[in-house]
A and B are shown apart, each in its own frame.
Chain A
Amino acid sequence: MIELLQTPSQTVGPYFAYGLVPKQYGYNHTNIITGSLVDENSAGEHIQIIGQVLDGEGVAIPDAMIELWQPDIKAIGRFGTGTDEQNRFIFNTIKPQSFEGQAPHISVVVMMRGLLVHAFTRLYFSDETEANAQDEVLRSVPEERRATLIAQRGELGGKTVYTFDIHMQGDNETVFFDV
């Protein structure tokens, strides 16, 4: 059996927008992955997921790109932090169902200039206290760091919004997984 070495990872760099999220940034190139994982007519509880990506000095990063993979509906979303005044990512989806006995969650891929290898994390939901308490992955995370993986439910303009900030460093450094 032959075995090859994996091709090394490199940073997505600062100029990914017109290749990967052109429509969001207003470039004249077609688009296939957007910040919406579902369309308006999809069944389920429609939610927004909004957050910032913060560097080691707490500054919101304007050239990060976030991808969400929602396994229960097999949907992918992608959003860059460079078009919002507050450098936020903004996703539209439906709240996930429990999947394979795990608490409802979304897989998150974090990329940016300065990150030579993308980072994997997970997003759980603050109103799923019981399911979260049983979730095997969450339980494997030291208790004092679990909060970094839990998006906080709130409301904005009549919409259900979950806030999920990603801290690259610092006391609240987000838990990243060796997926």
Chain B
Amino acid sequence: MDKRDWLVHPSYLFPDYQSTILRAPKRELLPIKANLSERTGPVFGLDSISPLDNDLTKNGCVNGEPLGERIVVSGRVLDQFGQPIRHTLIEIWQANAAGRYVHKVDQHAAPLDPNFVGGGRTLTDEEGRYKFYTIKPGAYPWGNHHNAWRPNHIHFSLFGPQIATRLVTQMYFPGDPLLQYDPIYKGAPEKNREAMISKFTLDLTEPNFALGYEFDIILRGSHANPFGI
């Protein structure tokens, strides 16, 4: 497995994002000899996924439907050589349409939605494809600097075939004017930052129902074994 490409991943220390200052490791990462421990990873079966797990418009309903703009988010999980990553777990979480998380620590004075939790999961199919139904998340303020706002985003967590391929990222939306001010987004080098912005597409848009956004995710692959196992 190739290393994480440090030309596309953020550095640990990125002072514009203030929380990195006391939390970023300061010493160089040490090389580790390739062996099976980090070259294996968890496997999740279909039995770990419930039918509504990928539908956030339904999995939190209590007495109605969530408010906001329904969207479809779909794409493929591939390795860096274009090979599909099959049957891998994707977990997502996000704010509601008003920009409020159900998390108890979130004190933003925007309303909670009794019919929206904002958590989902799915497994990719044979072609590495996944699909979620959800509500477009709202922007929200945060305390990083004066008048700081997070752009609309959905958090994504993926395992891939090995613990080494683990990736946590965020999906953004095209044309969001907040991206240019966001130190988390801009913590990723310019080289491949835009890969985190989904694409609006009519191909995924479902008539009279939901707008479609395409978001492909590229995990590490192996130059030594570019065609997978």
Q: Which residues of A contact B (CB under 8 A)?
A: 1-20, 22, 25, 27-30, 32-33, 55-57, 59, 61, 63, 67, 69, 71, 74-76, 82, 99-100, 102, 105, 107, 109, 111-120, 122, 136-137, 140-141, 168-169, 173-179
Contact = CB atoms under 8 A, between A and B. Distances in A.
A153 B166 CA distance: 29
Contact of A173 (B26, B53, B82, B192): B26
Interface stretch (B63-71, B173-181, B212-220): B212-220
A152 B128 CA distance: 42
Contact of A140 (B32, B117, B169): B32
A interface majority secondary structure: loop
B33 A18 contact: no
19 contacts: A4-B82, A6-B219, A6-B220, A7-B218, A8-B192, A9-B4, A9-B10, A9-B169, A15-B106, A16-B93, A18-B101, A18-B117, A20-B93, A99-B36, A113-B19, A113-B23, A116-B10, A116-B12, A168-B23
Contacts of B200: none
Contacts, number: 247
A8 B169 contact: yes
Closest CB pairs A-B (n = 4): A19-B93, A114-B19, A8-B188, A116-B10
Given A14-B105, A56-B23, A116-B20, 11 more contacts: A4-B80, A8-B189, A8-B193, A11-B19, A18-B119, A20-B91, A56-B22, A99-B36, A107-B38, A169-B24, A179-B32
Interface of B: 3-5, 8-12, 14, 17-27, 29-33, 35-38, 40-44, 48, 50, 53, 59-60, 78, 80-82, 89, 91-93, 95, 101-106, 117-121, 155, 157, 163-164, 166-170, 184-185, 187-189, 191-193, 195-196, 217-220, 226
Nearest to A62: B105
A66 B187 CA distance: 22
A25 B117 CA distance: 14
Contacts of A33: 42
A14 B92 CA distance: 14
A69 B166 CA distance: 11
B72 to A, nearest CB: 19
A107 B164 CA distance: 10
B184 A10 contact: yes
Given A5-B5, A8-B169, A107 B37 contact: yes
B168 A111 contact: yes
Contact of B9 (A6, A61, A76, A122): A6
B218 A177 contact: no
B23 A8 contact: no
Contacts of A114: 17-24
Contacts of B168: 9-12, 111, 118
B44 A6 contact: no
Contact of B23 (A5, A30, A61, A100): A61
A169 B22 contact: yes
A5 B33 CA distance: 24
Contacts of B41: 69, 76
Contact of B33 (A61, A140, A169): A140
Contact of B4 (A22, A71, A100, A178): A178
